[in-house]
């Protein structure tokens, strides 16, 4: 049986700095009512400080809030006038400056005011929790723990929970459950040691890479290349990441770690590099000050010349065969190629990797007992595709251990005792030093990956080259996309049709989930596949494909059994149309949906225009003027290729129905989608009834053209943008109809397809498509 705690409904965040304001924002995203408090302003309105910081959070890029309206769930205040309000909160989060004395003083005040059943946490990146609660009563200590959110809290998955010896285990379990299910976090229970798990390893690794710059061995750009996407890490690499974090913050973290770790054999690594001290002293704090290791001059990004102290244009990379390594395939293949490289790139990677792996191995038992927790911390908190021990396995345990011994990298005894043919992972088990054996890696049942499903006997019911139909239990099947970038070509479209038919005709199956575990849900229709027919001028073939695409979307919408599309991350163009076709979709909160075809000179023709027009028609507008007002923003979304920045915004934009289930933790989407199918089946599912679509005809088209003209005159659209927008308006208002009337969905689908083909034959559209396929977007 699963654990079902009572959800937290309200929270108070004490401290409205960058981190506090963003934590408050994410709690509001999760549906909580939030009090955000800080010091009163010295002059002017008492809440001016808090209000200013909250306003800054609303303008942050990427967006801190799911929707513009979410900020209304936050009520600001100050420590003097409004502290009593924390008595209303289920969870109080202290997020003030990283100073032990201030945190201790605030804890004393919280104890006097908070309810006895309120969970209290301190958000710190490294101060010991037991020191923060020193002097408080045992009862109060029992409900206090550390919470270390990673910045930005909305987007970084990791949440470290740090209980003390006095923390009630039930409190830790409840907050771990709430953080995972309601905040969407990957939870690690960390030991109460300096800087916990993620920062301890991550900062060590970053400072190690920086040493190759301060020694003059490698340039900033070379190091960022070798610590970025090439090795499965964020594109910000080492130095851009430092600039984003803030060099003043990096300085403080390094100094605090150095002071807090007198017994760490690698303590000197945390001594703040002189270059950081120098940059901070002159106000070069990174991105927030406009200069750090990098500085933008006009349109040029320049980097720091260590000897001169000035910024200069990037020098050519001297990394040998780096281009061929980039093309080696998966991150595992790239890592192996790079490790074996004989040039400067391989030398840097071998030395820094061995150094980080050795340090991570030496920290086992001190910061956490499981290698899996270190790997999770680096994946979820620092954006690595593979954690240190996963990298070790990829490169080969025996080879790397031998190389580390030859390089005099200090290894703990437990590594030395592992057999030569060993690995850290075997399936879902990981080698655990404390037991000297493989132990199961805990994966919540509602986050079971598809790989584990496919490992079950007879799990695959059917497949073709680009999709597979899986039995995921409880009478539910799942159609998994397996095409490159989950693009939707003939095999995928044919697979959708076959899967729906198979599910409908199998009395053992209740319904179907459509989803995948790709980086993104789908980039849309397979344009490369379509390009072959286009190059041969075989427009009838393209017409047939678009017709089949439309039929597949309608097949989903009107299927006799429930079809739930489980979307995550980007769903663009045809991918968005697929989600829109599902009457009951499930969406990861971080789903970015949009009909973006206008950007390549086309219009949505896989039911996108029709579906939005139909939703406007069904919105309850009683008069044509009301219908036009409702249609205008939907038309503009297509004409401007706008993309929703969250699932909640996708609801506002009509890409998702208002009743769509939104899952804060995307890894749970298949579980939620499966039980949505079961629930719909149990209640006696009936597909939607076809309904006429009210369109405005030529009067509506003329009204939309006025807006298009204004957009063009204002310099927001090129002449061809204007032409595309007019063709979108033509379709969404029903074409050449003289006035408003009801039409069928098929009527609009035929219009979509006709206009799509018309635009495809235009040389300007062809140039846009060619530019997109070449990775060089064209706007003509």
Q: Which two tokens stand for residue 374?
A: 């270190």
**Angle 616-487-730 from CA coordinates, rounded to 5°:** 30
Query: With contact defined as beta carbons under 8 Å apart, do 378 and 384 qualify?
Result: yes
pLDDT tens for 191-228 read 999 999 999 999 999 999 999 999 999 999 999 999 99
More confident residue, 455 or 413: 413
pLDDT tens for 324-343 read 999 999 999 999 999 999 99
Strand order in the sheet with 511-515: 460-463, 467-471, 476-481, 511-515, 563-572, 586-594, 661-663
Measured CA to CA, the distance from residue 451 to residue 736 in angstroms comes to: 51
DSSP state of 522: B
For residue 3, name the pLDDT band (cuts at 50, 70, 90).
low
Measured CA to CA, the distance from residue 401 to residue 407 in angstroms comes to: 10
The mean pLDDT value for 4-16 works out to 94
- CB-neighbour burial class of residue 535 (10 A; exposed 0-12, middle 13-18, buried 19+): exposed
Grouping H, G, I as helix, E, B as strand and the rest as coil, residue 467 is strand
For residue 119, name the pLDDT band (cuts at 50, 70, 90).
very high
Pairing label, strands 467-471, 476-481 = antiparallel
**Angle 739-742-746 from CA coordinates, rounded to 5°:** 115
Residues in contact with 510: Cβ distance below 8 Å, sequence separation at least 6, in sequence order: 474, 475, 476, 561, 562, 677, 678, 681
Task: Tokens 């320049």: give the residue.
Answer: 302
**Residue-level pLDDT at 535:** 75
What's the chain's average pLDDT?
95
For residue 267, name the pLDDT band (cuts at 50, 70, 90).
very high
Q: Which two tokens stand for residue 27?
A: 């709690």
CA distances from 161 to 6, 96, 109, 124, 389 (A): 19, 18, 22, 10, 22
**Residue-level pLDDT at 597:** 96
The mean pLDDT value for 419-433 works out to 90
Q: Which of 147, 136, 153, 137 is nearest to 174 (CA)?
A: 147
Residues in contact with 10: Cβ distance below 8 Å, sequence separation at least 6, in sequence order: 32, 33, 34, 35, 88, 89, 90, 91
Question: What is the rounded radius of gyration, in angstroms, for the C-alpha atoms of the chain?
Answer: 28
pLDDT tens for 699-739 read 999 999 999 999 899 888 999 999 999 999 999 999 999 99
pLDDT tens for 288-316 read 899 999 999 998 999 999 989 999 999 99
Task: Tokens 């939620």: give the residue.
Answer: 672
Query: With contact defined as beta carbons under 8 Å apart, do 509 and 503 qualify?
Result: yes
Instruction: Give backbone dihedrals phi and psi of 612, rounded to 5 degrees, phi first.
Output: -65, -40
**Residue-level pLDDT at 1:** 43
Q: Is pLDDT above 50 for 619? A: yes
Measured CA to CA, the distance from residue 594 to residue 604 in angstroms comes to: 10
DSSP H or E stretch at residue 445: none
pLDDT > 90: percent of the chain:
88
For residue 120, name the pLDDT band (cuts at 50, 70, 90).
very high
Pairing label, strands 586-594, 661-663 = parallel
Q: Which of 516, 526, 513, 452 is nearest to 481 (CA)?
A: 516
Give the torsion sign (CA, 486, 487, 491, 494): positive
Task: Tokens 């020694």: give the residue.
Answer: 215
Q: Which of 95, 145, 103, 137 is nearest to 120 (CA)?
A: 145
Query: With contact defined as beta carbons under 8 Å apart, do 25 and 71 qualify?
Result: yes
**Residue-level pLDDT at 75:** 98
Query: With contact defined as beta carbons under 8 Å apart, do 521 and 691 qualify?
Result: no
Neighbours of 531 (CB within 10 A): 15
Measured CA to CA, the distance from residue 7 to residue 4 in angstroms comes to: 9
Report the DSSP beta bridge partners of residue 163. 145
- How many residues are present in the chain? 780
pLDDT tens for 533-553 read 777 778 889 999 999 999 999
Grouping H, G, I as helix, E, B as strand and the rest as coil, residue 464 is coil
Q: Which of 769, 728, 772 is nearest to 752 (CA)?
A: 728
Q: Which two tokens stand for residue 365?
A: 């038992």
pLDDT tens for 20-56 read 999 999 999 999 999 999 999 999 999 999 999 999 9
**Residue-level pLDDT at 2:** 59
């Amino acid at each position: 049986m699963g654990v079902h705690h009572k959800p937290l409904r309200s929270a108070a965040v004490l401290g409205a700095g960058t981190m506090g304001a963003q934590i408050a924002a994410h709690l509001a995203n999760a549906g909580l009512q939030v009090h955000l408090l800080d010091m009163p302003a010295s002059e002017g309105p008492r809440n001016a400080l808090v209000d200013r910081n909250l306003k800054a959070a609303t303008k942050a890029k990427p967006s801190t809030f799911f929707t513009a309206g979410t900020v209304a769930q936050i009520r600001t205040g100050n420590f003097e006038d409004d502290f009593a309000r924390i008595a209303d909160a289920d969870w109080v989060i202290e997020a003030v400056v990283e100073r032990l004395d201030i945190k201790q003083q605030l804890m004393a005040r919280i104890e006097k005011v908070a309810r006895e059943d309120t969970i209290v946490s301190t958000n710190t990146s490294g101060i010991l929790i037991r020191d923060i609660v020193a002097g408080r009563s045992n009862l109060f200590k029992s409900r206090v723990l550390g919470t270390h959110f990673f910045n930005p809290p909305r987007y970084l998955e990791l949440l470290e929970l740090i209980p003390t010896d006095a923390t009630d285990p039930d409190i830790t379990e409840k907050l771990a459950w709430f953080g995972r299910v309601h905040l969407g976090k990957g939870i690690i229970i960390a030991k109460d040691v300096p800087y916990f798990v993620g920062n301890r390893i991550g900062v060590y690794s970053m400072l190690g890479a920086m040493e190759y710059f301060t020694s003059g061995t490698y340039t900033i750009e070379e190091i960022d290349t070798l610590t970025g996407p090439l090795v499965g890490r964020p594109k910000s690499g080492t130095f851009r990441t430092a600039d984003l974090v803030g060099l003043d913050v990096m300085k403080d973290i390094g100094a605090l770690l150095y002071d807090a770790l007198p017994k760490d054999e690698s303590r000197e690594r945390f001594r703040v590099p002189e270059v950081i001290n120098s940059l901070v002293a002159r106000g070069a704090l990174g991105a927030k000050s406009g200069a750090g290791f990098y500085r933008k001059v006009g349109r040029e990004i320049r980097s720091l010349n260590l000897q001169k102290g000035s910024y200069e244009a990037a020098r050519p990379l001297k990394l040998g065969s780096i281009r061929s390594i980039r093309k080696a395939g998966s991150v595992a293949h790239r890592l192996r190629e790079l490790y074996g490289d004989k040039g400067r790139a391989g030398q840097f990677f071998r030395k820094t990797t061995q150094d980080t792996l050795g340090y991570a191995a030496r920290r086992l038992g001190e910061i956490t007992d499981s290698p899996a927790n270190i790997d999770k911390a680096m994946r979820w908190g620092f954006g690595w595709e593979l954690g240190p021990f996963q990298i070790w396995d990829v490169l080969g345990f025996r080879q790397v251990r031998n190389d580390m011994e030859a390089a005099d990298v200090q290894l703990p005894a437990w590594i030395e005792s592992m057999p030569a043919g060993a690995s850290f992972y075997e399936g879902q088990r990981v080698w655990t030093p404390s037991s000297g054996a493989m132990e199961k890696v805990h994966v919540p049942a509602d986050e079971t990956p598809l790989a584990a499903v496919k490992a079950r006997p007879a799990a695959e019911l059917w497949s073709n080259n680009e999709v597979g139909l899986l039995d995921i239990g409880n009478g539910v099947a799942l159609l998994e996309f397996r095409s490159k970038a989950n693009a939707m070509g003939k095999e995928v479209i044919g697979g959708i049709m076959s899967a729906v038919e198979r599910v409908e005709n199998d009395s053992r199956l209740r319904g179907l989930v459509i989803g995948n575990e790709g980086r993104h849900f789908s980039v849309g229709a397979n344009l490369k596949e379509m390009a072959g027919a286009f190059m041969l001028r075989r427009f009838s073939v393209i017409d047939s494909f678009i017709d089949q695409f439309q039929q597949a979307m309608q097949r989903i919408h009107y299927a006799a059994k429930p079809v739930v599309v489980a979307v995550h991350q980007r769903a663009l163009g045809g991918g968005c149309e697929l989600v829109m076709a599902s009457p009951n979709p499930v969406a990861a909160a971080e789903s970015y949906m949009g009909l973006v075809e206008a950007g390549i000179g086309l219009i949505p023709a896989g039911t996108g225009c029709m579906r939005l027009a139909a939703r406007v028609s069904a919105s309850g507008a009683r008069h044509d003027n009301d219908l036009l007002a409702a249609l205008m923003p939907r038309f503009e979304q297509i004409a401007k290729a706008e993309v929703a920045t969250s699932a909640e915004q996708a609801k506002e934009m009509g890409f998702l129905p208002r009743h769509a289930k939104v899952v804060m933790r995307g890894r749970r989407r298949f579980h939620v989608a499966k039980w949505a199918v079961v629930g719909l089946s149990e209640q006696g599912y009936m597909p939607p009834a076809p309904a006429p679509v009210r369109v405005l005809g030529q009067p509506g088209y003329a009204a939309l053209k006025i807006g298009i003209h204004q957009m063009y005159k204002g310099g927001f659209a090129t002449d061809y943008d204007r032409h595309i927008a007019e063709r979108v308006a033509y379709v969404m208002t029903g074409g050449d109809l003289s006035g408003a009337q009801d039409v069928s969905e098929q009527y609009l689908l035929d219009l979509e397809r006709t206009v799509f083909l018309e635009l495809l034959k235009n040389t300007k559209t062809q140039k846009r498509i060619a530019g997109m396929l070449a990775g060089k977007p064209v706007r003509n």
